[in-house]
Amino acid sequence: MQRIPADPLDVLRTRTSAKWRLYDADVLPLPVAEMDYPLAPPIAEALHAAIHRSDTGYTAGSRPVAEAFEGFAATRLGWTVDPARVTCTADVSMGIVEVLRQLISPGDGVVVTPPIYPPFFDLVTEAGGRIVEVPMSGGIDEGWALDLDGIDAAFAAGARSMVLCNPHNPVGLVPTRAQLAGLAEIAARHGVTIVSDEVHGPLSQPESRYTPFLEVSDAAREHGVAVTAASKAFNIAGLKAALIVAGSDRADAIRRALPYEVEYRTSQFGAIASIAAFRHGGLWLDGVLASLDDNRRLLADLLADELPGVRYRMPQASYLAWLDLSALGWGDDPAAYALEHARVALLGGPAFGATVGRGHARLNFACSPEVLDEAIERLAEARLTPVE
């Protein structure tokens, strides 16, 4: 498989996105979930063509993006999607909030599974909910899993919804079909709804291909609403387009109850880019997946050689590594120490869960092998710096 090489650092530092503007020029920025690969040519061509024809107005509804996603989902994800049951919006986070607003009353409990993508905590409270933490079971050594008994108990105690991350950010878990089916049965038994963030699904590696939540069972379709996008897989998060997907009459009633302006928040450029990605971006995505596979394995080798005390489990999906740095003695938030002493920016573990994130950090390996090698070398050198 032809790999997609990352852009060189001098080119990357001309970008104006968050990853390249939040830190000083001597810092290797590896916290923000942006990839260093060049934009897929079909997406670039579609956007250039839109500029050429001054196509900068409002989007023409959800149907064009939904129909493009229908084909992509069927061929690459094994997911049967009805375009009539899709509403677009600006991004996955916004979609999660708007769906939760339809599901809960102020103060209702919403389950999240730390360590978890930090904005989940804010999204629940923005929607008026109350965080109910059910940490992932297992760990780096034995592997991660959803704590189905804990989730069952949380619903029995009154929680009304759950935000699922499938695949999971930051640990890179692709839950098994059996686990997802078990979650759907629990949701059905308690009459609650799972809001499933599926944005990392297209970035699952071939040996760990993920199962879309709405595909696992009739119970999942009845008691689940999925939110996804081309944003992570095709590195177009700044273009602002996502999809809210229902798979049953019950779930579609939730989608149809969304305020009409939810759809109109979708960016025209986001819609154009998403259509190009879903229809023509497969070859590029295959090359990126091959590059990410190389890097997740390279990271394991680098850590074993340079930082043998750091614990890491190779992720099954995406380009985010969850690292246990506690053996280095860099405190509860080792990312702060790494930034100061190694000039490597990581995302601090406590943001993913105050307890389970202590001593951990998330590293983005969607970069060149050279950048990854330098980052680990810098961290290894910082290990020799006395901790104050």
Alpha-carbon gap, residue 369 to 238, rounded angstroms? 25
Residue 4 lies in a domain: no
Which one-letter amino acid corresponds to residue 201? G
Give 1's pLDDT tier (boundaries 50, 70, 90): confident
Domain end (from 280, 307, 322) = 280
Q: What is the CATH number of the domain that holds 354?
A: 3.90.1150.10
348 and 200 co-located in one domain: no
71 and 111 co-located in one domain: yes
Residue 2 lies in a domain: no
256 and 310 co-located in one domain: no
pLDDT tens for each residue of 355-382: 999 999 999 999 999 999 999 999 999 9
252 and 330 co-located in one domain: no
Question: Residues with Cβ < 8 Å from 153, sequence gap 6 or more?
Answer: none
Confidence check: pLDDT of 386 > 90: no
76 and 203 co-located in one domain: yes
Within a 10 A sphere around the Cβ of 293, how many other Cβ atoms? 16
150 and 170 co-located in one domain: yes
145 and 87 co-located in one domain: yes
Alpha-carbon gap, residue 239 to 231, rounded angstroms? 8
Confidence check: pLDDT of 384 > 90: no
Q: Is 162 helix (H, G, I), strand (E, B) or coil?
A: strand
Phi-psi region of 191 (alpha: psi -120 to 50; beta: other; left: phi over 0): left
DSSP output for 302-347:
HHHHH-TT-EE---SBSSEEEEE-GGGT--S-HHHHHHHHH-EE-E
Which helix (H) or strand (E) covers residue 144, if one does? Answer: strand 143-145
208 and 305 co-located in one domain: no
pLDDT at 388: 60
Domain end (from 253, 280, 307) = 280
Alpha-carbon gap, residue 240 to 230, rounded angstroms? 10
Give which of 208, 231, 198, 206 is closest to 289, Cα–Cα. Answer: 206
Size of the chain in residues: 388
pLDDT tens for each residue of 261-270: 999 999 999 9
Q: What is the extent of the structural domain holding 332?
A: 9-39+283-382
Average pLDDT value over all residues in the chain: 97
Average pLDDT on 160-183 reads 98
Confidence check: pLDDT of 385 > 90: no
249 and 309 co-located in one domain: no
175 and 290 co-located in one domain: no
pLDDT tens for each residue of 175-231: 999 999 999 999 999 999 999 999 999 999 999 989 999 999 999 999 999 999 999
Q: Are strands 320-324 and 344-345 parallel, antiparallel or unpaired?
A: unpaired
Residue 133 lies in a domain: yes
Give which of 364, 376, 370, 381 is closest to 303, Cα–Cα. Answer: 376
Domain end (from 261, 280, 299) = 280
**Number of domains present in the structure of the chain:** 2
pLDDT tens for each residue of 9-44: 999 999 999 999 999 999 999 999 999 999 999 999
78 and 196 co-located in one domain: yes
pTM of the model: 0.97
Which residue stretches of the chain are H helix?
9-12, 18-21, 41-52, 63-72, 92-103, 119-126, 148-156, 177-190, 218-222, 249-256, 261-264, 268-280, 282-306, 334-342, 369-382
Residue 1 lies in a domain: no
